[in-house]
């Protein structure tokens, strides 16, 4: 007989991905559909971030990595880039107390050096304030690009070899991993991309080697707790083999 799965079974702790990465896509289209500016879509997207952080935290997810600004997003109109790079400031001004209350620790991956001073200052402050929290770790990928990340890692490894700190014959996957922005983080178990596109857009190319993918047509500002729960439920049904049988 077909037995219906109880809802709590879908969220059994051992089935919850410990690291979820999300490509938060669709803010612009969400706004355009409503005759609003793309920037309004990005602002609305913050509300989804807050919801998802809360849900992930409740589900005992350990790491949540959110793609917020790619190295390619500089190609957008100046005013849109400026809005996006101000979002961390607005987000943290409003929600830092909530992150503290939820015991969330903030971290950033990407090359933040070219970001405006106000963005870097807000992040630095929040990273410092949340550094002793031991709940969910929230990683914002800002000015993040996977290919650039790998080139930088190769340059650092080359220097180590040149200085005699590392021999070429010893160089292995672990060494490369340690030189990526994600050093110290486990690879994501689940990747979610909203907004209908089915591509990686230069996100975590190395780290997603064995990650489970889950795509949704829902635009990021409309992405609900229910959608997030569906992703987790689907993840719970996957069989990960890592090349074995």
Residue from the set 195, 207, 212, 218 that interacts with ligand IPE by CB under 6 A: 195
Residue from the set 55, 63, 73, 143 that interacts with ligand IPE by CB under 6 A: 73
Among candidate residues 25, 27, 139, 189, the one labeled active-site is 25
Cβ atoms < 10 Å from Cβ of 186: 11
Angle of helix 38-58 relative to helix 78-101, nearest 10 degrees? 30
For 167, what's the count of Cα atoms within 13 Å in the CB-facing half-sphere? 2
Distances (CA, A) of 32 to 40, 47, 202: 9, 18, 25
Active-site residue 25, yes or no? yes
| Interactions with Mg ion, residue window 34-63 (CB under 5 A) | none
Question: Residue 188, interface with ligand IPE (CB under 6 A)?
Answer: no
Task: Count residues binding Mg ion (CB under 5 A).
Answer: 1
Instruction: Determine the Cα–Cα distance for residues 90 and 210; give it in Å rounded to an integer.
Output: 35
Q: Which two tokens stand for residue 9?
A: 């079974």
Cβ atoms < 10 Å from Cβ of 112: 18
Active-site residue 128, yes or no? no
Spell out, one character per residue from 134 to 173, where the chain touches ligand IPE: x when CB under 6 A holds, - when not.
----------------------------------------
Sheet strands side by side (includes 137-144): 105-109, 137-144, 63-70, 19-23, 190-193, 212-215
Question: Residue 84, interface with ligand IPE (CB under 6 A)?
Answer: yes
β-bridge partners, 213: 191
Question: Residue 70, interface with ligand IPE (CB under 6 A)?
Answer: yes
82 vs 186, which CB is nearer to Mg ion? Answer: 82
Residue from the set 16, 17, 20, 25 that interacts with Mg ion by CB under 5 A: 25
Q: Point out which residues bind ligand IPE (CB under 6 A).
A: 23-29, 67-70, 73, 84, 195, 197, 199, 201
Q: Point out which residues bind Mg ion (CB under 5 A).
A: 25
Residues tagged active-site? 25, 73
């Amino acid at each position: 007989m077909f037995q219906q799965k109880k809802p709590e079974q879908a969220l059994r702790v051992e089935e919850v991905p410990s690291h979820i990465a999300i490509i938060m896509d669709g803010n612009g289209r969400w706004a355009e559909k409503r005759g609003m500016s793309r920037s309004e879509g990005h602002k609305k997207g913050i509300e989804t971030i807050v919801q998802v952080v809360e849900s992930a935290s409740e589900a005992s997810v350990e790491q949540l990595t959110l793609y917020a600004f790619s190295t390619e997003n500089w190609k957008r109109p100046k005013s849109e880039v400026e809005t996006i790079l101000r979002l961390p400031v607005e987000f943290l001004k409003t929600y830092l107390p909530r992150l503290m209350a939820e015991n969330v620790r903030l971290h950033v991956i990407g090359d933040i050096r070219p970001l405006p001073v106000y963005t870097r200052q807000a992040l630095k402050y929040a990273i410092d304030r949340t550094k002793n929290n031991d709940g969910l770790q929230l990683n914002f990928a800002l000015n993040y690009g996977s290919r650039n990340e790998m080139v930088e890692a190769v340059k650092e490894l080359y220097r180590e070899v040149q200085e005699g700190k590392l021999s070429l014959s010893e160089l292995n996957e672990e060494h490369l991993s340690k030189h990526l922005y994600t050093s110290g983080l486990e690879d994501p178990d689940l990747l979610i991309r909203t907004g209908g596109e089915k591509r990686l857009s230069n996100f975590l190319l190395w780290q997603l080697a064995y990650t489970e993918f889950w795509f949704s047509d829902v635009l990021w500002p409309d992405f609900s707790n229910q959608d997030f729960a569906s992703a987790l439920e689907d993840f719970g049904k996957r069989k990960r083999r890592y090349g074995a049988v």
